[in-house]
A and B are shown apart, each in its own frame.
Chain A
Amino acid sequence: MSAADYKGFRYIGKKRRTKEDPRFVTGHGRFVADIALPDMKHVALVTSPHAAARIKAIRTDKALALTGVHYVLTGAELCAAVDPILPGVDAPRVTRYPLARGVVRYAGEWVAAVVADTRALAEDAAEKIEVDYEPTEYVLDPEKAIEPGSPLVHPLHGSNVLYRRKFVWGPVDEDFARAEHKLALRVRWGRSATVPIETFGVAAQWDPGRQLLDVWASIQMPKYPDQTARALRLPGNAVRVHFDVDVGGSFGVKRGIKHTVLVGYLAKKLGFPVRFIEDRLENMRGGDMHGPDRIFDLQVAFDSDGTIRSLRIRALDDVGAYAGRSPLQLGKPVGAIVGPYQIHSVEYEPISVMTNKTAQEAVRGFGQSPTNYALETAIDRVACELGMDRIALRKKNFIRKDQFPYLIPSGTSYDSGDYHAVLDKALAAADYPALLAARDAARKIGHLAGIGISSCLEPSGANSAFEPLFNPKNETTTWMDSCLVRVDLSGAITGVMNTSSAGQGHETLVATVLGEVLERDPDTIRVVHADSLNALPSNSPVGSRMAIMLGGAAAGAARKIKAALLAIAAHNLNKDVAQLEYHEGSVGVKGDAKQALSWAQLVEIAHRKFHQMPPGLEPGLQAKFVWEVPTGGALPTADGRVQMYPCFSFEAHVVLIEIDPATGQPKLVRYACGHDCGVMISPDIVHGMTYGGIAHGIGAALYEKFAYSDNGQLESQSFMDYLIPSAMEVPAIAIVDHCTPSPHTTFGQKGSGEAGYLGAPAAIACAVNDALAPLGTTIDALPMTPLQIWTRMQLVRTGN
């Protein structure tokens, strides 16, 4: 599909209102905390005050004596009754249970759960539970944690290293030997996360007559029903997850298996519905949703003309005390390990290490944004070393638009792109010459001002190829998604999707696609979320995949409906299908407008008039479509090459920042982002996610950090010290679109759910360092908080 065809769409790519907005603006969303089940009880938690300790005793009698308190659950009971949650890599002795079993491994870890009539009573009771701890040795520094002799977070595992491998793709040593220049740098990505405004919550109800656990949750988790059932030792069809719960933001983190196992166990044991909604403190300390926390050591081999030949990257990631899929966040970047650049060879050594901190979980981009930050910082360093313009250096090394499909050293083929054009658009939108003039004028009057540039990829379509890459025992290559479409007797269309949504506008996506293919008004199409027992397979909205996978599935199902309508018409008009044409739901004979059957007539035949149905066609009018991620399905090679994701969106950021020389407070004066995610199905939704991703990136770059004290206490555990950017910190942002369709997808679309976040931290960090350049200093760690910037300025000024 060419970009020109984009204009031929009827609904795709057009400004249209979404299906979800009306319920949200009137307060009629249905979030998990809005679900009130008859006789429902509430949970509050007792959590560990220590980074590491043995639990000697837990006394619950005072709590249980309170009126309205029903139960206190401890790890001893729960861990005997449920199976552990295992990490995504091969580490069977790194077990995780919802409640600590004998030892606690981080401050905030759940130790006991109280069930009471109200949350307030449960909190009262939790305060009366006495736990005797014997503190033990702990480790907080990931570099110390990988050393022999370090305290072990999970002694049975024998080491704090969860995963470590050195990949070599191409002649790295030779390329380094031949290169005219080399440089090395270290950068650090700070521990932050997506921190949705809604915390995680789950409600569960056990039906003893049906032997069925019903679950309502704020969830974004592949294979969530399956994992919940397994841990609870129930058959998969004994857990029914209701996906029609609005999720109040997730961006990766709402995995919630431990929450659900806890609440599911309590509901089944106690015989009444149980709900747990994290309060903000429980969420920040024990919600197990911290993001990547990485030290990158990079070496770059390059020539005097700016050609970058080779990279060596070591990434040490601190996943905290437990791991779900978090080690795999070092795996996804394998699929874009050279960014948008032609780099001949790469060595990559990911190391996933455990420390006594809150566990890491998936965060928007699944490890790609930290990697992009490291890569872009390296590119800037090369430019600086060579005295070369940063933009010219990028353009020199960009993969050209005539080189696609382009195979990178780690085995992934990029689908399409025009990186030069998008960067040029971003520069034009920012008015780059004016930006330079503004920066230099600010500097002349003694202000600190800097320009940041970043250019990076958003791998999209999520095939989860990092699972077999990082764990050879896991041979998962299927990563499908699905859609069911029904046309009822009234002629109304309903699309059924098979997962919950957290703001991505999936109902709008499905309705737009169904409307496009069937040429029916999307406003008349209803989209519902199945529950897990009547759902078709889905791997949930992760890895920027739903425009591609759910959009593709909806199109596939709609085409089957269309084919059925054509077959019915052919049978009744006594023509071949080739002689017919479909127009807005009716089917007529080409060149003879009088010979036609309307949508209503065709639907009626399908539902009521079997005698008019062509032989072999299923009565009714419904179709399902289940499909595998395009380009997916292969296991990695022995040397770790793999096709990681099918589609590659591109973004270029241009930022002007000014820093208050007295306080270190940065101000984003100008922000432009060029973005190419192929064909946009809903431009407002894509733009919204991109603005939001940039805002999130501003947080990661400048403000947000889960900081720990030396004794392992989380110091930023409220919104007073974990600083989420407000409308005052996020500037007006200019987004400029570009469209390079993907050859792998139904309409040429690519993913966009992580857009903005993947390049914003790199660009902002680059801008801060450009601002500090006249002082002869740089900052190599995120977040570059005002305090960090101020401290650095003071160090320069005092010469200390």
Chain B
Amino acid sequence: MSDEQLYSISIEVNGERREALVPARLSLVDFLRDTLRLTGTHVGCEHGICGACSVLLDGEPVRSCLMYAVQADGRRVTTIEGLAQADGTPGVLQDAFCETHATQCGYCTPGMIVAAHALLESNPEPAEHEIREAIGGNLCRCTGYQQIVDAIKLAAEKRSVGAAGK
């Protein structure tokens, strides 16, 4: 291996404290994928445009390809794997993506769901233009976005019904 200097980091990932020694230049996405083997987060462009690598950092969507792992030290990261229910079954938003067939190849999907999740957390009843804006930084080459927009609308409805029932 190389003789790069390593730094100690401690990140809460999907509710679990993860500690590691990493080189300063290791990107957050490479840390998640290669070190932690959380391969649900994908790499599409590595220059912050496509959004495939989106994760939540303290609840806010960020590009994990544009961050170093050391920058996430002491922070809270949620990946697509952390958005499922406790038993591993899809969450409401993930289930809505299945219902409307909002995926094709599945490559942009995790980043898209992360962006949509962040939207619904801050805006539970988004209008269509707000949905499109929220996923405007996530490129999809398969779907033309329509069934993704439909999924997010459906998830908003289901969440609002669920919230009303509580």
A interface vs B, CB < 8 Å? 17-18, 20-29, 31, 33-34, 36, 66-68, 117-118, 120-121, 194-199, 246-251, 277, 279-280, 502-505, 684-685, 687-696, 718-720, 724, 726-728, 730, 732-733, 756
Among B5-13, B69-77, B144-152, B156-164, the stretch that binds chain A is B144-152
The interface size of chain B toward A, counting residues with CB under 8 Å, comes to 64
Contacts A198-B42, A198-B44, A718-B45; A691 near B52 (Cβ below 8 A): no
Collect the chain A residues with CB atoms within 8 Å of residue B102's CB: 21
Assess whether A248 is in contact with B107, with CB atoms less than 8 Å apart.
yes
CA distance A692 to B94 in the complex (A): 20
Residues of B within 8 A of A727 (CB): 131-133, 135-136, 138, 140, 145, 148-149
State whether B136 touches A280 (Cβ < 8 A): no
A696 to B39, CA, bound (A): 27
B residues in contact with A719, CB < 8 Å = 45, 47, 49-50, 139
Cα–Cα distance between A24 and B108 once the two chains are bound (Å): 9
- Tell me whether B40 and A26 are in contact (CB under 8 A): yes
20 A–B pairs (Cβ distance < 8 Å), ordered by A: A25-B80, A26-B84, A28-B40, A34-B39, A117-B1, A121-B2, A198-B107, A250-B105, A502-B105, A685-B104, A688-B144, A688-B146, A695-B145, A719-B45, A720-B49, A724-B141, A726-B138, A727-B138, A728-B136, A732-B128
Q: How far is the CB of B46 from chain A (nearest CB, A)?
A: 6
Q: Report the minimal beta-carbon distance from A115 to chain B, rounded to whole angstroms.
A: 14
| A25 and B99 within 8 A (CB) | no
A248 partner, pick from B94, B105, B143, beta carbons under 8 A:
B105
Residues from chain A with a CB closer than 8 A to the CB of B126 are none
Given A26-B80, A31-B107, A503-B104; A696-B141 close (CB under 8 Å): yes
Question: Are A733 and B144 in contact, CB atoms less than 8 angstroms apart?
Answer: yes
Residue of B nearest to A502 (CB): B105
CA distance A21 to B109 in the complex (A): 10
New contact pairs (11) apart from A25-B98, A726-B137, CB-CB < 8 Å: A20-B103, A27-B38, A33-B42, A120-B23, A246-B106, A248-B106, A249-B142, A688-B104, A692-B104, A718-B49, A726-B145
B139/A724 in contact, CB under 8 A: yes
Q: Are A684 and B147 in contact (CB under 8 A)?
A: yes
Contact status of A694 and B144, CB under 8 A, knowing A26-B80, A67-B2, A685-B101: yes
CB contact between B143 and one of A18, A26, A118, A691 (< 8 Å): that residue: A691
Quick one: which of B79, B81, B106, B143 has the most chain A CB within 10 A? B106
Do B106 and A726 touch across chains, with their CB atoms under 8 A apart?
no
Q: Closest CB-CB distance, B105 to chain A, in whole Å?
A: 3
Q: Does B41 reach chain A (CB closer than 8 Å)?
A: yes
Tell me which of A197, A695, A733 contacts B50 (CB under 8 A): A197
Known contacts: A21-B97, A197-B44, A695-B145. The answer to whether A27 contacts B133 by CB under 8 A is no
Q: State the Cβ distance, B147 to closest chain A Cβ, in Å.
A: 6
| Beta-carbon contact of B143 and A29 below 8 Å | no
Residues of chain B whose beta carbon lies under 8 Å from any beta carbon of chain A: 1-3, 23, 25-26, 33-34, 37-47, 49-50, 52, 79-81, 84, 88, 90, 94-95, 97-110, 113, 128, 131-133, 135-149
CB distance from A216 to the nearest CB of B (A): 13
Chain B contacts of A27 at CB under 8 A?
38-41, 79-81, 110
Q: Are A687 and B147 within 8 A (Cβ)?
A: yes
Pick from B98, B102, B149 the residue with the most CB of A within 10 Å: B98
In the complex, which residue of chain A has the Cβ closest to the Cβ of B104?
A: A503
Most buried by A among B104, B132, B149: B104
Which of A21, A117, A199 is within 8 Å of B2, CB to CB? Answer: A117
CB of B1 to closest CB in A, whole Å: 5
> Which residues from chain B contact A36 at a C-beta distance below 8 Å?
34, 37
Question: Of the candidates B94, B107, B138, B141, which one forms a contact with A26 in the assembled complex, judged by CB atoms under 8 Å apart?
Answer: B94
Q: How far is the CB of B24 from chain A (nearest CB, A)?
A: 11
Overall SS of chain B's interface: loop
Closest residue on chain B to residue A728 by CB atoms: B136
Contact of A197 (CB < 8 Å), options: B39, B52, B136: B52
For B145, the chain A residues whose CB sits under 8 A away are: 691, 695, 726-727, 730
Residues of B within 8 Å of A194, CB to CB, are 141
* Structural contact, A197 and B104, CB atoms closer than 8 A: no
Q: Are A718 and B47 in contact (CB under 8 A)?
A: yes
Query: Which of B2, B100, B105, B144 is within 8 Å of A246, CB to CB?
Result: B105
Q: Which residue of A lies closest to B40 (CB)?
A: A27
A17-B99, A696-B141, A726-B137 given; A689·B104 CB < 8 A: yes
| Complex Cα spacing A696 to B104, Å | 14
Query: What A residues does B42 contact at CB under 8 A?
Result: 31, 33, 197-198, 248
Whether A21 pairs with B103 at a CB distance below 8 angstroms is yes
CB <8 Å contact, B46 and A279: yes
Closest Cβ–Cβ distance, residue B9 to chain A (whole Å): 17
Q: Name the residue in A27, A196, A248, A250 with the highest tally of chain B Cβ atoms < 10 Å from its Cβ.
A: A27
Assembled-state Cα–Cα distance A21/B93 (Å): 13
CB-contact partner of B25 in A31, A120, A689, A691, under 8 A:
A120
Identify B101's interface contact among A21, A121, A733, CB under 8 A.
A21
A684 touches B135 (CB 8 A): no
Known: A20-B103, A685-B101, A726-B139. A720 touches B47 (CB 8 A): yes
Are A25 and B149 in touch, CB under 8 angstroms? Answer: no
A503 and B105 form a contact (CB under 8 A): yes
Taken together as a complex, chains A and B put the C-alpha atoms of A28 and B42 apart, in Å, by 11
The answer on a CB contact under 8 Å between A26 and B142 is: no
| B residues in contact with A280, CB < 8 Å | 44-47
List chain A residues, Cβ under 8 A from B109: 24-25, 29
Q: Is the CB of B101 within 8 A of A684?
A: yes
Complex: chain A residue closest to B107, CB-CB: A248
Q: How far is it, in angstroms, between the C-alpha of A61 and the C-alpha of B13 when the chains are bound?
A: 41
Contact of A196 with B141 in the complex, beta carbons under 8 Å: yes
- Check B81–A249 contact: CB distance below 8 A: no
Q: Name the 4 nearest CB pairs between A and B, nearest first.
A: A27-B40, A24-B106, A503-B105, A248-B107
B144 touches A693 (CB 8 A): yes
- Chain B residues whose C-beta falls within 8 Å of the C-beta of A33 in the assembled complex: 33, 39, 42-43
Q: Tell me if B133 and A17 are in contact (CB < 8 A).
A: no
| Distance in Å: Cβ of A284 to nearest Cβ of chain B | 10
* Residues on B with beta carbons closer than 8 Å to the beta carbon of A687: 101, 147
When C-beta atoms are compared, the residue in chain A nearest to B145 turns out to be A727
A505 and B142 alpha carbons, distance in the complex (Å): 12
Please name all residues of chain B whose beta carbon is closer than 8 Å to the beta carbon of A22 when the two chains form the complex. 90, 98
A197 with B107: CB separation less than 8 A:
yes
CB pair A68–B101 under 8 Å, yes or no, is: no
